[in-house]
Structure 1
């Protein structure tokens, strides 16, 4: 039996390859999960772009793969799968799961810390990685789960949780003083405003009130972003002059475009905080050398999850997330004006083509891509 996998060159993300390595026999305690569907979005491009810096390549390593050795990797994705083979008595064949998978037809996992609601992959190579990515939810006990919305969950649930945590983090830190002037609303500037994590963040920020949420995007995506209704204003990247230079501002950067970051920092003299989230502009990534104003700080969602879990307890955190997720998902999937249309890609060639489309940023922002290998 062979697996089908999509490999990516870690240093040349535009280079991808379909591979069919043989499936290794299971060891005691392991399970094999058939990955039925997974989402691919610009967030996954960020996983690849920051794969070395933030250890995303380490979840599903390919030791010695390619030339030079270790040059190729598998991008982690969020999706659904079913246990097809089990050497773990507590995880039966047929169990349906939501979690963090490789871009593959199947994967071998090592369940541990097993409860009625979830279990964790306790494989040795994942022990030091963020625990939130090692958790597999048993859909029969998952408060987020609905069988008829698996596509939307795969596409938006992990992104919305990041969006929710960004909004919570900024509020938790009192907007870093940007709201200190009672006469002026803080300006929240979100780059790559058409991306799903960005508009999820805007959705949450707008619900709080008292903020001006400004989406920054390309000319081609202005209309789409404006149609969502979650931004107070939508500006092209070349319209920074429409932001008051002295406005108390926060920059939430989903694009990672180094040249634009320089421009924004130079223009926004009232910038209080610069938050780096992603890297949708893969070809324009760069450092912060010589940057005016506050140094960009990389936002790491698991740290805010850990903080809130300790403060509120896991049950309260889940309750709040599920409540807000329900409001967001209902808005995004309104039949009369949906924010997103799902497009399915079946088979290796179709999945590879969808990967290239998202990587190049040429896709329709209203499309959500669901892949299966």
Structure 2
């Protein structure tokens, strides 16, 4: 089985299967990329949870009722009928959990954009592929953390632009998640409010050891923990009962409530109107479009890369890469991540083929 897709049931994310794929001949102007390695984190589960609502399923269509979860990783050109892409070139970007991806490239300053018709009306940030050189160990951390870091970067920038809505504390649920860690790291560096991590008892010691949270509170202590007010909530968990507990605890002292992800995807839907502000979903591509206009050509990349460098340098201290090769390893890693069993200090990097 040389080519295959990893498919997930849209109505039950625990159901997954491997589907063989026959490689079709390339049309003029297309290229086929062999996916070398990609990261699998709770962020990818969030893509699946919001697959219909945010159109994540539309990037890589699958059979009726089944989806191909997007992941971030590296691939090389295996075949090409496009004049600007040659066999052997490597690109970092947004891929399916598959062995291959066929693209319709348009050359850009840093690589190419996939202009396939089915991606034309999807957020452009996910259609960009960056040319890279030879493989290196640093690529694993890039695949694991860079897509999450930019979300943290954009949230921190949004909060700073709004003067933290007057808050003295910023609360981050799922504080052990990699996106939350990236935001905490940047909030801590800015130093304008206390950074409070909300987490499970199981992960509390890990979160405390990161050094980027001023205070760590377990979920069962949210109601009466001494947290400075007013506060802002950044909800990475997507856990409706937890969100309600925070809203009821702070009421009007909650200055802003931001929903980012769904790491606690099985916690259930929202349970009606909440005290305090209405939760607002944070959609990173909208913020990217705004800042690209505000800061001009290259401005966003320059600011992001300056913030990314110290975070990336620190990552090996608290994150270890767990490698897997082939469809069985992929299925095992996916089952662990979707069940919430992956350790916070672990990062799965998978190679579809050896």
Q: State the TM bucket, normalised to the shorter chain.
A: over 0.9
Q: Does 1:360 align with 2:339?
A: yes
2-side partners of 1:347 and 1:285: how far apart? 33
Corresponding residue number in structure 2 for 1:90 = 84
2-side partners of 1:340 and 1:58: how far apart? 31
Corresponding residue number in structure 1 for 2:4 = 4
Deviations 1:295-338 (A, max 9, x none): 110001111111111111231221111111111011112xxxx1
Bigger drift between 309-318 and 123-132 goes to 309-318
Deviations 1:249-286 (A, max 9, x none): 10000000011111110011200110000000011141
Per the TM alignment, residue 242 of structure 1 is displaced from its structure 2 partner at its CA by: 4.0
Q: 1:103 aligns with which of 94, 97, 101?
A: 97
2-side partners of 1:243 and 1:28: how far apart? 62
2-side partners of 1:139 and 1:21: how far apart? 27
* Cα distance change, pair 8–291 in 1 and its aligned pair in 2 (3 A): same
1:180-199 superposed matches below 5 A: 186-199=168-181
2-side partners of 1:288 and 1:321: how far apart? 37
* Cα distance change, pair 24–2 in 1 and its aligned pair in 2 (3 A): farther
2-side partners of 1:137 and 1:288: how far apart? 42
Q: Does 1:203 align with 2:185?
A: yes
**Contact 1:251/1:275 (8 A) holds in 2:** yes
Per the TM alignment, residue 146 of structure 1 is displaced from its structure 2 partner at its CA by: 7.9
Where in structure 2 are there 5+ consecutive unaligned residues?
none
1:296-307 superposed matches below 5 A: 296-307=279-290
* Cα distance change, pair 271–244 in 1 and its aligned pair in 2 (3 A): farther
Corresponding residue number in structure 2 for 1:247 = 229
2-side partners of 1:273 and 1:285: how far apart? 22
2-side partners of 1:196 and 1:34: how far apart? 27
Q: Does 1:260 align with 2:242?
A: yes
2-side partners of 1:134 and 1:346: how far apart? 26
| SS of alignment partner, residue 14 of structure 2 | coil
**Contact 2:31/2:102 (8 A) holds in 1:** yes
**Contact 1:8/1:74 (8 A) holds in 2:** yes
Corresponding residue number in structure 1 for 2:40 = 40
Per the TM alignment, residue 241 of structure 1 is displaced from its structure 2 partner at its CA by: 3.2
2-side partners of 1:139 and 1:93: how far apart? 14
| SS of alignment partner, residue 268 of structure 1 | helix
| SS of alignment partner, residue 355 of structure 1 | helix
* Cα distance change, pair 244–109 in 1 and its aligned pair in 2 (3 A): same
**Contact 2:238/2:262 (8 A) holds in 1:** yes
Q: Does 1:351 align with 2:322?
A: no
Per the TM alignment, residue 160 of structure 1 is displaced from its structure 2 partner at its CA by: 0.5
2-side partners of 1:212 and 1:115: how far apart? 41
| SS of alignment partner, residue 15 of structure 1 | strand
Q: Does 1:219 align with 2:198?
A: no
Corresponding residue number in structure 1 for 2:267 = 284
1-side partners of 2:46 and 2:235: how far apart? 12
**Contact 1:288/1:296 (8 A) holds in 2:** no
Corresponding residue number in structure 2 for 1:183 = none
Deviations 1:165-206 (A, max 9, x none): 11001111222233xxxxxxx110000000000011000000
Q: Does 1:229 align with 2:211?
A: yes
**Contact 2:323/2:349 (8 A) holds in 1:** yes
Q: Superposition RMSD on alpha carbons, in Å? A: 1.5
Q: 2:130 aligns with which of 132, 137, 145?
A: 137
1:25-64 superposed matches below 5 A: 25-62=25-62
| SS of alignment partner, residue 350 of structure 2 | strand
Q: Does 1:294 align with 2:277?
A: yes
**Contact 2:141/2:315 (8 A) holds in 1:** no
1-side partners of 2:135 and 2:305: how far apart? 12
Corresponding residue number in structure 2 for 1:182 = none
Q: 1:340 aligns with which of 295, 319, 324?
A: 319
Q: Does 1:272 align with 2:265?
A: no
1-side partners of 2:197 and 2:109: how far apart? 41
Where in structure 1 are there 5+ consecutive unaligned residues?
179-185
